Amino acid sequence: MSLSACSLLGPDLQYETDYANHEPLHVFGYPSTGSLQVVQEAVWRIADGKAGDLEKLATSDSTDSETRKTAANWIKGFQKGAKGKVAADFYDEASERQVVVLYFQDTHQVKQITVRVDDPEGADSWRVRMNEPSFKEATSAPDWAPKEPGGDGSVSTG
């Protein structure tokens, strides 16, 4: 019986362990519970260099090849920064989709990602769009985002 209880708590225990072993995000804007969790998990997977686990967070609209290359690019490009302090500006409202700008504070890198509700297995869950197979594209800073976190979080960019 205790094995059943442990297996039911698996994802929660994993999240708590990850939280204890990593810097938490410094958050600006208005994420939903789901958008915040998937962004936090993506940063942790990048920091840990866990490409396979990062790929599991991808939306269903990218090919396996795009997802695999994007995960490798993000780890190669941002792993050092993801191991330190990271701030996240969450833009717009978070009912179905949200643009997030990550600020890797130790390396002074900036990265835009998009998260959205995806339904790959019949359960609404938040996923990360991973369709940047080019290293240059995957590591380019957005030209529209403020240089420092907290400037315009949760404000429409359009």
The answer to whether residue 151 is domain-embedded is no
CA 14-17-18 angle, 5° bins: 85
Q: Are 88 and 149 in contact (CB under 8 A)?
A: yes
pLDDT digits (tens, 9 = 90+) for 77-113: 999 999 999 999 999 888 888 999 999 999 999 999 9
| 7: its two tokens | 């297996």
* Confidence (pTM): 0.84
Query: Which residue range(s) make up the domain with 38?
Result: 25-139
The answer to whether residue 114 is domain-embedded is yes
The answer to whether residue 5 is domain-embedded is no
For 50-61, b/e burial (b = at least 16 CB within 10 A) is ebeebbebbbee
pLDDT digits (tens, 9 = 90+) for 125-145: 899 999 999 999 999 999 999
| Structural domain total, the chain | 1
The answer to whether residue 14 is domain-embedded is no
The answer to whether residue 35 is domain-embedded is yes
112: left (phi over 0), alpha (psi -120 to 50) or beta: beta
The answer to whether residue 8 is domain-embedded is no
CATH code of the domain covering residue 116: 3.10.450
